[in-house]
Chains A and B, each alone.
Chain A
Amino acid sequence: MTEPLIFELGAPGRTSSFMPECDVPVRETEELIPGNLLRKKPPRLPEAGEQEVARHFTRLSSLNYGVDTGFYPLGSCTMKYNPKVNEYAARLPGFARLHPYQAEDQVQGALRLMYETQRYLAEITGMDEFTLQPAAGAHGEFTGLLMIKAYHDHRGETGRRRVIVPDSSHGTNPATAALCGMEVRQIESGPDGTVDLDALRAALGPDTAAVMLTNPNTLGLFERDILAIAGAVHRAGALLYCDGANMNAVLGISRPGDMGFDAIHLNLHKTFSTPHGGGGPGAGPVGVKSFLAPFLPFPAVRLDPDSGTCFLDYNRPLSIGKVRSFYGNFGVVARAYTYIRALGGEGLREVAENAVINANYLLSLVRGTYRIPFDRRCMHEFVAVPPAGFREGGLHTADIAKRLMDYGYHPPTVYFPLIVEEALMVEPTETESRATLDAFAGALLEIAREGRENPQLLKDAPHGTPVARLDEVTAARRPVLRWQPEGEEG
């Protein structure tokens, strides 16, 4: 089943009539705008009625798979349930219908929400101060690394321009370092999948600005040597940055600030239940220890204790500046605030406990059939590889992923982390029931059997989706990135 493009629907001259009649005296457009700046040809937009548009996008939505559709064990992405009360909160007119440049006394509710969220996140992570401005995790990394660079420069250590990342790190970590004009040094993970302390010590030097770590790491393993790591990093004069993508595993259990991290970004769209939106918007608040606070982007949201009012503090001479317009993805922050207030401290701890129980339980159901390259107690996720015999049958992780769709599941993350060949990275999250995990494990075991008996079944999968596997090679060799009217393509 496929759906026509919106451009292929409707009829010439058709439009939806939302706009009122003009109630002011009308002047000729040519009188108001110089001729050379006037549009000559109207843009080729669709010409469809509201009902056609409603049906089109509703049908498109039915071609999608969301957390509300079914189990979504996408490792590293924390696809937990998105509470509906969050959507209610973000849509309250008092939040949704606010202009960012309204005077502070008109937006005290919004500023208070931001101020409190900053405090809660600081408490949850063990940091001192937070900025809510970054629009996503990678944007948070960028903000964090810039602050670290600014901090070193401020101390006269301008030569610190190298960032160390483990080979299991998210791609955003090295990409962020490059975006900040820094060099990347990648170190090999140790035999147990965690940081090799000797390799780290050898890589640290007077040119090291920061070490970026995810903890628990992308294999779902907690860095047991975290205190020694932090000690080594700090002795070398570098700072320790936490990629907070996996914070869901340790909410209320342990805090990066107490582990020795100097800065962290959180992904509100992972840990704090705000929806992923098909790719965004998210939010990537950054928390820092107090010595980095002067470098936070401006403005900071602060509380004047005397008057009890909140204000925007632009007077920050050491600030790295702005990383975007306005104050951040407020609508996303409002959802995360709602989530934190719904759960409270005990509720957040319960989140981490159940995320870890669910992951270990699922692991226990598939271990033996699927191979586990770093097999020990996992945290909120684990990494598996295809069953024995698959490789010989010409089967890959992608085939398992595609076949899972036929069983009604979204596949786990595949081919990441890069240090595990044919990786299958599974993160069930805390909001799934034991019954769901049992059924999913059943599908994985069934697929293991199918792969041995009828590998072609997997190679041709998925069989029951709106489209079969798509030709990605042609898509990349001859990119068609937009619709054009017939006869005008290319």
Chain B
Amino acid sequence: MRYVINTGEDRREMLARIGAGSVEDLFRDIPAEVRLKQPLNLPHPMAEPELARHLREMSAANRNLDEYACFLGAGAYDHYVPQIVDQLLLRSEFYTAYTPYQPEISQGTLQAVFEYQSLICALTGMEAANASLYDGASALAEAALMACGETKRDRVVLSETVHPEYRETVRTYLRYRGVEVTECPETGGVTDPERLMGMVDGRTAAVLIQQPNFFGCLEQAPEIGEAARRHGALFVVCADPVSLGVLEAPGEYGADIVVGEGQGLGNQLSFGGPCLGFMACRQKLVRRMPGRLVGQTADKHGRRGFVLTIQAREQHIRREKATSNICSNEALCALAAAIYLSCLGKEGLRRVADLCLQKAHYAHGLITSLEGVSSSFKAPFFKEFAVRLEEDPAGVNRRLLKDKIIGGLDLGRFYPRYSGHMLLCCTELRTREEIERLAAGIGGKPS
């Protein structure tokens, strides 16, 4: 394949116009010592049919979720993506456009992002949302930095029940920033409230929790927020947006910054990326927010229009004093979320959340009634829960796979003390029949 369309004749004439004797001549500024002497050692080019076949073969070496019932969650969720989402994403006026720096010919992207920001505000109960960040993990890290900037304090308290990869990311982001990260231990699958109270003090910039947390359990978030507020620390909640169809909006219980992973809102799993980091905050924090913001305004004829705004926060203007270095974000994933939420609407999102809730509890009931299986935690949960198995989770998963089921996550991978525990997830896509097969498989005899 080639996507260059100048012909040999074109090239000759163009070189003549340029006044170059040859193509080589154009590269004469590159010192001979660093010129490649031989062609790149890459596989031969492929024609499209051959390439498509190769890609199909490669993808067929994976067990995909169209063919397997997936009970894995842990930060990436098999929610249904309505056909309309991808059909609209394929409008190439959307996907082949750059960042909307020229608003007169970018109103499509700008208005869609404005709608996305509005939808995220509505879901989270916050006053402002940005145009997206890379993923939930980096959004949480950015929130921690934002809180340090706002409070001029240098410590954050991070619950151990936050997704382990998110905690790793927070630590990476804060490593050279002179900020101390203290982890608050969990008890029974939720943040230990007493330990937390003891850790938050006048040096604390932020308390960071996840709701529902990594174990699927619901935190007593309002109490935690209260503890943060008492010491003047910001309260940062990392939320599952789908859960907000039934769970209280973090803005209603005192969150200052709400972040999370928006992949479940109309985006494919895609082996974990691209993701969609969302961030929303209170109005007074807007100027500390990282990333792009779209605002509403008007043209000289009074027509409503949208522009990138409060850009003086950003790297292209503020350079080393910017609130973050982020430039490219996840705009197309935000568009998918906007289409998804627009289609589902008020009623539809509530329905998805209800289905997750009901199916997860049905599965929980069936599985924990199996001999040798017990619930890991007593705390209430939304769509994920952990169970303790007598058998090695890897063995159970191998057995399930033969029945076209992808089982849960071995919690021992991230929490050695919970090895032998399995984290399971039910989205609205899991059917009763699949759930019953899952239970039968877990209860089945080791082979």
Contact = CB atoms under 8 A, between A and B. Distances in A.
A437 B418 CA distance: 63
Given A322-B172, A467-B303, A364 B17 contact: yes
B51 interface: yes
A273 B428 CA distance: 35
Contact of B380 (A37, A39, A138, A250): A37
6 contacts: A48-B343, A93-B64, A252-B40, A329-B274, A331-B274, A482-B114
A328 B273 contact: yes
A306 interface: no
A470 B297 contact: yes
B301 interface: yes
B315 to A, nearest CB: 4
B65 A282 contact: no
A18 B84 CA distance: 11
A351 B386 CA distance: 52
Interface string B100-116: 10111111110111110
Interface in B57-106: 58-67, 70, 72, 74-76, 78, 80, 82, 84, 86-88, 90-100, 102-106
A88 B292 CA distance: 29
Contact of B118 (A90, A279, A482): A482
A69 to B, nearest CB: 6
Interface residues of A, number: 205
Interface string A146-181: 100100000000000100000000111011111111
Give 3 nearest A-B pairs by CB, closest first: A94-B59, A326-B272, A100-B272
A42 to B, nearest CB: 5
A379 B218 CA distance: 56
Contacts of A259: 34
A14 B59 CA distance: 39
Contact of B60 (A87, A94, A356, A470): A94
Interface string A126-138: 0000000001111
B297 A354 contact: no
Contacts of B78: 99
Given A99-B65, A325-B136, A479-B309, A64 B93 contact: yes
A137 B48 contact: no
B42 A77 contact: no
Interface string B17-28: 111100100111
A302 interface: no
Contacts of A20: 355, 428
Interface string B342-359: 111111111110110111
Contacts of B173: 179, 323
B417 interface: no
Interface in A315-351: 320-332, 338, 340-351
B63 A106 contact: yes
Interface stretch (B119-127, B194-202, B368-376): B119-127
Contacts of A33: 218, 246-247, 357, 380, 382
A24 B2 contact: no
Greatest chain A CB density within 10 A among B11, B103, B172 is at B172
A43 B221 CA distance: 19
A356 B381 CA distance: 58
> Which of B27, B76, B127, B354 counts the most chain A CB atoms within 10 A?
B27
Interface residues of B, number: 206
A333 B145 CA distance: 29
Given A321-B172, A357-B26, A467-B103, A482 B246 contact: no
B96 A66 contact: yes
Given A64-B93, A430-B4, A469 B300 contact: yes
Nearest to B311: A476
A433 interface: yes
Nearest to A406: B104
Interface in A76-114: 77, 79-83, 85, 87-103, 106-110, 112-113
A77 B309 CA distance: 21
A357 B171 contact: no
B416 interface: no
B65 to A, nearest CB: 4
A477 B119 CA distance: 23
B188 to A, nearest CB: 15
A349 B102 contact: no
A360 B16 CA distance: 11
A175 B247 contact: no
A81 B3 contact: yes
Q: Which of B64, B87, B118, B292 has the most CB of A within 10 A?
A: B64
Contacts of B76: 99-101, 325-326
B210 interface: no
Interface stretch (A55-63, A232-240, A285-293, A387-395): A55-63
Interface stretch (A198-206, A218-226, A443-451): A218-226
B3 A360 contact: no
A47 interface: yes
B256 interface: no
